Structure 1
Amino acid sequence: MNFADWIDIGATPPQRLPGDLDAAIAYVSDVLGHVVYLRWTLALVKRRYPSLGDAKSATPAVMRLLLDQSVAVEYWDRGRARVVSLDDAPAPESVLARVLRIHARRFKCGDAAPTAITNGERLQELAPTDTGFPVALRVWFARAGRFAAIASPTNTLGVGDDAQAVALFLRDRGSRSPHTARAYRTEIRRLAAWCIAQDLGPLSDLTRHDLLEYKRTLCRPAKDAGHARPGRALSEAAQARALAVVASLFRYWTETGYLTANSAAGLVRGQSRHAGFAPTRMLTSAQLAACDAQIDTVESDIEPLVAARRRAIWRLYRYAGVRLAELVWFDARQLPALDIDANGNWTLNVCGKGRKPRAIPLPAVCVSSLQAYRRLRGLPAQPEPREHAALIHGLKGGTLQGSGLYDEVNAIFQSAAARLDATDPTGAATLRRASPHWLRHAYARTLVVDRQVPLPAAQALLGHASIQTTAGYAKTDLSQLRTFVDRAFDAD
């Protein structure tokens, strides 16, 4: 492979990689902010560090190997640095090639790389394969129903089946933020799962009667209608969101001429308006303490790196109050990312709803877990300014996605619940149905109620569009009202 054929389009102006292998490795390592491939010797260690003690603290795995090896190779693999002997190391060419492919958005091969999307390469042509649905579901979508105006000149989408029409809807209406796109995909998939269970479809074939039956189904517990938790009915808020997405999809299709009629017209009409946010899914201090204690217990069958990653994930959700998707790597923005100011204070930067950036100060208990996790990944304990490594790595390569993050937090809830079964069965049951978003509620309540942080400051930390949402956490419950009454009439 000629690495001079590769272009770094993240540089300004776009920069061609050096043709020399070592120079190309040095360049990529520099712009990404982490090691790509490095042969360590004692001579190199002495040049890089003031003392062997400093070297041992910074690169313990390298120093252990150099005790009985003349050369130790450190290379980047699946989101972490690995250290092996020279005999066991992969070829540097293959390591660099793999890193370039992982960062395919930044590094392009060929002269046309900087202008890969030209006038003839429209996003509409790419959309049908960019829905994020499983292959089997994409095949199910790849049909057109009775209401699809395939050959009509008024079909301004210019597509011939639901698969392409769904993809264009997600592109046009769901591109505001990854959170919006994720919510739209979830609800479209839920509707498709219900159609499959009822032997209906495709979506452009559904009648108003079909959609009204789907609306009624959302109110009932279901085993096969695409619910995230089979056997449980959706909450009123979740039902409203599900129907709003369906109505938006059919309205978009009708307005663009893909459908001849809107079967979802008026589907959400008559629903009661949102009277005010009042969070109900709360964990008590004792339940949170049980989870905190559980995360400090390293199970013998878990690799240290996996355990450290789980601690880091837990403490980010626990002490930063982020939404589930805000810890998913967003390559276009290089977020989430960590910053350290001149005083050593750590800040988590995320991309929130509406693609709005948000900076969240991190407490020391969270920082220590992140440092331990970074060391085991082979990264410096302190993030460097030009670092481009994903915040949370995937064990099979790339980054950990939303479902993986959910599973890591859920593992803590389930383990803590098992320990509470004997002493607090009610608390254990609560933990078993908890989700990562409950930690966001706990964070918000700590700010607004326990610490009485001013609402505008809490709103900024939580990324709420409306301060009324933040104020919802300040609503008193019955136990608080009882305390106020007891204090008020104590003298009597």
Structure 2
Amino acid sequence: MAKPAAPSQQIPAQTLEQFAHFFRYLNGEKMASAHTYAAYERDLWLLAQYAQQKDLHTLTAQDIRSFVRQIASKGLSGRSIARALSAWRMFYRIMIRDFHWPLNPVEGVKAPKSSKPLPGTLNSDDAVGFLENMPDDDALDARDKAMFELAYSSGLRVSELVGLKLIELDLPQGLASVTGKGNKTRVVPIGHAAQESLRHWLTIRPEYARGQVATVFVSKKGGKLTTRAVQLRLQHWQQQLGINEPLYPHKLRHSCASHLLQSSGDLRAVQELLGHASIATTQVYTHLDFQHLANVYDQAHPRAKNK
């Protein structure tokens, strides 16, 4: 593997020798892939950049934390900083092992947490408009409409959608028994519009279902539907109906949760509907709800507008 090119600023010769030793370790003992090698290479040059002319064996945990703050201030994500810290930590472990350096200043230093992006949602008018504009004239259209009505109505994951069995549907009661993550089962309500679309699809389904396939939704060839097929069908309808923003199955689930929380404010009920093991997972929707409140406030409050 070629020797890595040093960054533009002057690096002490001693540091270059230490890096070369570590790169030999990556090539020899660790037998790192080209991708791993390149990542370690970038992260070590980053360490040299922030250390400047300091001898690396003299750096302290306080120095490393200072570097992390500087890197974070330049907009590097928490995940990227964590990767850099991992590379630095490994470098120091090899230096301690092979050259008896006194300490590893990176041990115990953690990367700042990256803020999680809020899940994408449709507003309630767009969600209703999308579903109402979907036709159900032929079998494939009827299946898709029932599928996406149910996803939005009951907040199902795409895996739950394709795995739902006929015996788990109770349309007279408007309920479905859903198996989610960790094989945990929960009962979810099915809205009126989704019930109607499901009834229509179930009158057509016997003509297409092959053999003893047990799932509610089947493929064009009559077998079990895949999650990828659902994603592609949603993209198809996005294009057919001229919807500008991207559509994907989880957006329907997020939209369901967000709209329920905006209307009811009942976080625990939304947690039960979505099948979240921890309410902390559901709390992301309180941020979405706050965004909605903030937008309404900005538009409506007489003291919120700039003069």
The whole-number CA distance in structure 2 between the counterparts of 1:440 and 1:212 is: 39
**Structure 2: which amino acid aligns with 1:285?**
S
Aligned counterpart in structure 1 of residue 286 of structure 2, from 449, 465, 474 = 474
Structure 1 counterpart of 2:142, one-letter code: A
1:403 alignment counterpart: 228
Q: Distance in 2 between matches of 1:412 and 1:482?
A: 33
Contact 2:135 2:142 in 1 (8 A): no
1:181-196 alignment, distance < 5 Å: none
* C-alpha distance in 1 between matches for 2:132 and 2:231: 19
1:309 partner amino acid: R
Shift of 1:398: 2.0
Q: CA deviation at 1:147?
A: 7.7
1:375, distance to aligned residue in structure 2 (A): 0.9
Matches within 5 A, 1:225-236: none
1:362 aligns with 2:190: yes
Deviation by residue 1:437-462 (Cα, 9 ceiling, x = unmatched):
1111110011111233x211110101
Is the CA contact 1:326–1:336 (under 8 Å) kept in the aligned structure 2? no
2:151 to 313, 317, 333: 317
Structure 1 residues 392, 458: CA separation in 2 closer, same or farther (over 3 Å shift)? same
Contact 2:79/2:114, CA 8 A, preserved across alignment:
no
Residues in 2 aligned to 1:207 and 1:292: alpha-carbon distance in whole angstroms: 44
Question: Is 2:261 the partner of 1:429?
Answer: no
Matched, 1:295 2:139: no
Identity of aligned residues (%): 23
Cα 1:410/1:271, change in 2 over 3 Å: farther
What does 1:384-423 align with in structure 2 at a 5 Å threshold?
389-417=214-242
Q: 1:337 to 1:486 in 2, by over 3 A?
A: farther
Shift in Å, 1:416? 2.1
- Residue 271 of structure 2 is matched in structure 1 by 459
After superposition, give the CA deviation of every residue in 1:88-143 in whole Å (9 maximum; x if it has no partner).
Answer: xxxxxxxxxxxxxxxxxxxxxxxxxxxxxxxxxxxxxxxxxxxxxxxxxxxxxxxx
Letter of the 2:38 partner, please give it. D
C-alpha contact 1:278 1:472 (8 A) present in aligned 2: no
SS in 1 for 2:168: strand
The structure-2 alpha-carbon separation of the partners of 1:355 and 1:292, relative to structure 1 and needing over 3 Å to count, comes to: same
5+ residue gaps, structure 1, are 1-145, 150-202, 216-235, 248-265, 299-303, 380-386, 418-427
TM superposition shift of 1:395:
1.7
Shift of 1:280: 4.7
Runs of at least 4 residues of structure 1 off by over 3 A? 146-149, 203-208, 210-215, 334-337, 483-488
Higher helix share: 2
Out of 317, 323, 338, which is 2:168 matched to?
338
Q: What is the deviation of 1:206?
A: 4.7
State the Cα deviation string for residues 260-315 of structure 1 (Å, max 9, x = none): xxxxxx9xx8443255x6635121233223312321364xxxxx211111111111
The one-letter amino acid paired with 2:162 is V
- Give me the TM-score of the superposition, normalised by structure 2: 0.58
2:95 aligns with none
Which whole-Å CA distance do the structure 1 matches of 2:192 and 2:166 have between them? 19
Q: Secondary structure at the match of 1:309?
A: helix
Q: CA separation in 1, counterparts of 2:79 and 2:174?
A: 38
How high is the TM-score relative to the length of structure 1?
0.38
Alignment deviations for residues 121-168 of structure 1 (CA, whole Å, 9 cap, x no partner): xxxxxxxxxxxxxxxxxxxxxxxxx7899xxxxxxxxxxxxxxxxxxx
Shift of 1:358: 2.2
> Taking structure 1 as reference, are residues 328 and 480 closer, same or farther at Cα in structure 2, changes over 3 Å only?
same
Equivalent in the alignment of 1:347: 175
Counterparts of 1:395 and 1:485 in 2: how far apart (Å)? 52
Letter in 1 for 2:205: R
Offset, 1:483 = 5.7
Assess if the C-alpha contact under 8 Å between 1:147 and 1:205 holds in 2.
Answer: no
Do the aligned partners of 1:339 and 1:347 also contact (CA within 8 Å) in 2? yes
Query: Structure 1: which amino acid aligns with 2:244?
Result: A
Amino acid at match of 1:346: G
1:396/1:457 CA distance change after superposition, 3 Å? same
Aligned-residue offset at 1:210: 3.2
Conservation of the 8 A alpha-carbon contact between 1:445 and 1:473: yes
Which residues of 2 match residues 113-124 of structure 1 at below 5 A? none
Match of 2:283, as an amino acid? A
- Corresponding letter in the other structure for 1:321: G
Instruction: Map residues 47-126 of structure 1 onto 2, 5 A cutoff.
Output: none
Name the structure where strand makes up a greater proportion of residues: 1
Q: 8 Å contact 1:294–1:415 — kept in the other structure?
A: no
CA 1:400 to 1:213, structure 2 compared with 1: closer, same or farther past 3 Å? farther
State whether residues 218 and 225 of structure 2, in contact with CA within 8 Å, keep that contact through their aligned partners in structure 1. Answer: yes
| Residues 328/206 of structure 1: CA separation in 2 closer, same or farther (3 Å cut) | farther
